[in-house]
Structure 1
Amino acid sequence: MTQGKTPKTTPRGAAVALLNAVLGEGLMLAEALHLPEFASLPPADRARAQRLALGVLRVLEPADKVLHPLMRKAPPLPVWNILRLAIVELSGGAAAHGVVNEAVGLARANRKTSHLAGLINAVLRQVPVGVALTSVQKLPRWLRQPLVHAYGREAVTAIEAVQAQTPPLDLTFRAGAETPEGDLLPTGSLRLADKGQVSTLPGYAAGGWWVQDAAAAMAVPLLGDITGQRVLDLCAAPGGKTMQLAAAGADVTAVDISGPRMARVAENLARTGLAATCITADALTWQPDQPFDAIVLDAPCSATGTIRRHPDLPFVKDGSEIEGLVTLQAALLDRALGWLKPGGRLVFVTCSLLPDEGEAQLTAALARHPGLTVQRPTLSGIAAEWITPDGALRLRPDYWADKGGMDGFFMACLKTP
């Protein structure tokens, strides 16, 4: 380590700071990215710090199982997190000398942990390089229990196994666009196992593709042909579906309540050379000036289907927000249905695994709106068991497990009378 550079300014130091924020302060990882220990790093080091923190969160319990027998009592959380990071790196085959030395250095750099630097050294010297993390981290009880009830214990165990793995990167691309080397999935997304930095991938600057989980990319095609149609993307940020709609030839209006997130939509549209009318507004008060042929409502939800990409979520959320989200989803759905032309279609989407935010919402909506019908999905590449009895699409992380899984989603295409 060069003189004058403290351990805290390394990617490992920043990763520990991120873990302390998530596990100690209850911040989502995205909220912790403003920390000076992270923000001061160059882009490549920030990316590595984030990867390290995410890696620890995916296997926190298995790492703890390795550590517990090596200590008489639990150390303070910052020391725990230094040890957890070291265990995860050692399990991946990292050089023990570098891992142990920097772990000790991280402890020494902080007056609150410096007295435990010797403990860290003694513990890690007992851990072999390549130590196996054999167990799989379980979901918290507030989430696991309803999922077991909905899908069965075996399915939930399979979901947890997928969530323990680093997810691949999925791209949605336009025909003829330059793309990186990858595997074409049955539904048309391109999957990259060794992703690297997104902005350096072939074709990024040309704008012929964008990052979008393969499951998320299935929502827009549920609408069928939308060429020349007036389509609303409601709760649009970060804009993957907006770009899909525009690329399919629709006249797109994108609405989102967040100004900064809507700015990202505009940036993505500019890079890809696609057009949409972007509006920052609250969908509960905004009113369009004319009806739409079709609407995509990607409603705010618990995001429990995205844990493979956001493993911090189970450590920060406790399920207490779900009741309010369910009420909000229903209100948005009712409001959006009123903006459709007769015979218009609305795709209701949540990135949640919980039936309360999916199947139950559909049942309630059909009861509230006589004449509303569900259009069964006919997408190529989807399996029959993904389609619910009501004709919606229920996607789970354990689907395509051999390919790296997918995010969990509920999607239903509703047609008005």
Structure 2
Amino acid sequence: MPRDPHIDKERPAAKPRAAAARGSAAQVRGPNLSARRVALDLLHSVLRRHRPFDESLAAHSTWPGLSPRDRAFVRLLVATTLRRLGQIDAILAQCLDKPLTPKASAAEGALRLGVCQLLFLETPAHAAVTETIDALPRAAGAYRGLVNAVLRRVAQEGPALLETAPEIPTNLPDWLWQGWNAAYGEETARAVAVQHLREPPLDLTVKHPAEQSLWAERLGARLLPNGSLRLQDAGVVENLPGFAEGAWWVQDAAAALPARLLRGIAGMKVLDLCAAPGGKTLQLAAAGAQVTAIDRSADRLARVSQNLARTGLTATCIAVDAFNWRPPEPVDAVLLDAPCSATGTIRRHPDLPWIKRPAELAELPLLQRRLLNAAIQMTRPGGVIVYAVCSLEPAEGEDLIARAIEEAAPIERIRIGEGADELAELGAPPESITRAGALRTLPCHWSDQGGMDGFYAVRLRRR
């Protein structure tokens, strides 16, 4: 299945944030040469090999040897370069007489990283230019002069060059921008794209809802309307109070909403399909359900087991393909968080716009529909199914469900928010409840509080 980079997973906390607009970032000074060389390798892995940023980090041999300070710099530098790639390339196009050839990929990467440091991270010019050039591999030595000349020009003319490259829609592939315009209108699409340029905060889900205020105070976190805790610049997750005792887990506020659509599940048999890395499994178990977590990846499912052990929660984990597996008897409820394009998580995964392709996205609804059919077969008549995707693409959400119902799938909608009590309990932004009674969060929701991931979720009854 396609990679599903849900933010439920335990991950490093937010690093120092890149400027949302030029001039607002803290200065980043003096990381050693190996840090910039690692950044160059990672950028090449993402943009040339189309390998996800997180996977590229995990596979890099030098990464474990970097100091915490240099790791923070590398993450910030590469992530900001990917967020601002359209602007950076537009500026480079003005400074080059002709496009660089594929043989000059290392030089192109160094130019991109250099421009990012000069214009978006406010790195001192001597470090951004000299140390970036020194990070070039020996085979790219013939381009040192070119890289030096271009970066020095950018250092001198940066503000003027930046004015010619607007943030929106320059920093998005055209096919993605046009799709959001068609789905949400230009104003909303622009608000979404702006939010993607900002480093996201860290959200936590507390195991016991009654302790949310307690942990908000202990962690210095903001308590969001849905009960999630939000931290800015939290540092290393494992060092935070409450991690070792399993009092909470990392989970974006939007990702915490779909599981809450299954109400009153204490004692019920519930399946969590495509469960890894397990944030929603933990939610269901904490709500008292008898949970079975299904995922085709044994390695990813091991993360679920680790999180269950840390939090002291219980669920059965089965590594199997959901297409070929059925429970001994139909269950009361199924949560299907289907593999998807993950375009709702671009603010956390700025590599996604540059490694995804329209043709790949076009194939996903077929996979998702097959999984929905499997979920229906696993659910008893009268049971409840929640279908969710962290995608902004209607083809993976609204359109897919509408077509399934039109084609006489044995399901019917259970509208969200029919009663005021559910809306208050759910705590979602009011504007995220659609006319059809589904949930559609957008990154621009709660923008004054740091935004949220984009999710679609619908609650269905098995007829």
Compute the displacement of 1:326 (Å).
Answer: 0.7
One-letter code aligned to 1:171: L
Separation (CA, whole Å) in 1 of partners of 2:410 and 2:290: 29
Unaligned 5+ runs, structure 2:
1-30
Say if 1:9 and 1:240 are closer, same or farther in 2 by CA, change over 3 A.
farther
Separation (CA, whole Å) in 1 of partners of 2:255 and 2:81: 26
Q: Name the counterpart of 2:202.
A: 169
Q: Name the counterpart of 2:286.
A: 247
1:367-404 superposed Cα distances (whole Å, 9 cap, x missing partner): 32356232324333323332222211111111122222
Q: Are 2:197 and 1:157 aligned?
A: no
1:54 corresponds to which of 74, 79, 93: 79
One-letter code aligned to 1:415: R
One-letter code aligned to 2:241: P
1:116 corresponds to which of 112, 135, 143: 143
3-state DSSP of counterpart to 2:225: coil
Q: Name the counterpart of 1:330.
A: 369
Q: Name the counterpart of 2:124.
A: 95
Q: Name the counterpart of 1:24.
A: 48
Say if 1:130 and 1:264 are closer, same or farther in 2 by CA, change over 3 A.
farther
Compute the displacement of 1:131 (Å).
Answer: 5.0
3-state DSSP of counterpart to 2:318: strand
One-letter code aligned to 2:330: P
Separation (CA, whole Å) in 2 of partners of 1:307 and 1:318: 14
Asked if 2 retains the 8 angstrom alpha-carbon contact of 1:9 and 1:40, the reply is no
Separation (CA, whole Å) in 1 of partners of 2:83 and 2:158: 16
Separation (CA, whole Å) in 1 of partners of 2:265 and 2:157: 52
Asked if 1 retains the 8 angstrom alpha-carbon contact of 2:296 and 2:320, the reply is yes
Unaligned 5+ runs, structure 1:
1-6
Question: For 1:396-411, what aligned pairs fall within 5 Å after superposition?
Answer: 396-411=442-457
3-state DSSP of counterpart to 1:252: strand
Deviates most, 239-248 or 184-193: 184-193
Say if 1:254 and 1:72 are closer, same or farther in 2 by CA, change over 3 A.
same
Q: Name the counterpart of 1:379.
A: 423
3-state DSSP of counterpart to 1:36: coil
Compute the displacement of 1:254 (Å).
Answer: 0.3
3-state DSSP of counterpart to 1:10: helix
Asked if 2 retains the 8 angstrom alpha-carbon contact of 1:396 and 1:408, the reply is yes
3-state DSSP of counterpart to 1:338: helix
2:295 corresponds to which of 241, 244, 256: 256
Separation (CA, whole Å) in 1 of partners of 2:123 and 2:333: 51
Separation (CA, whole Å) in 2 of partners of 1:389 and 1:263: 39
Q: Name the counterpart of 1:389.
A: 435
Aligned-pair identity in percent equals 46
Say if 1:139 and 1:362 are closer, same or farther in 2 by CA, change over 3 A.
same
Compute the displacement of 1:148 (Å).
Answer: 1.2
Compute the displacement of 1:86 (Å).
Answer: 2.2
Q: Are 2:41 and 1:12 aligned?
A: no
Say if 1:115 and 1:154 are closer, same or farther in 2 by CA, change over 3 A.
same
Compute the displacement of 1:40 (Å).
Answer: 5.0
Q: Are 2:438 and 1:413 aligned?
A: no
Compute the displacement of 1:74 (Å).
Answer: 3.7
1:47-84 superposed Cα distances (whole Å, 9 cap, x missing partner): 54233211110011222333333333344222122122
1:143-197 superposed Cα distances (whole Å, 9 cap, x missing partner): 2222211111111111111111111111111233645222111111111121322
Q: Name the counterpart of 2:404.
A: 365
Question: For 1:303-342, what aligned pairs fall within 5 Å after superposition?
Answer: 303-342=342-381
Deviates most, 364-373 or 264-273: 364-373
- Structure number with the bigger relative contact order (C-alpha 8 A, sep ≥ 6) is 2
3-state DSSP of counterpart to 1:112: helix
Compute the displacement of 1:112 (Å).
Answer: 2.2
Q: Name the counterpart of 2:272.
A: 233
Say if 1:67 and 1:211 are closer, same or farther in 2 by CA, change over 3 A.
same
Say if 1:286 and 1:130 are closer, same or farther in 2 by CA, change over 3 A.
farther
Structure 2 length normalisation: TM-score?
0.83
Compute the displacement of 1:258 (Å).
Answer: 0.6
3-state DSSP of counterpart to 1:347: strand
Q: Name the counterpart of 2:21.
A: none
Q: Name the counterpart of 2:113.
A: 85
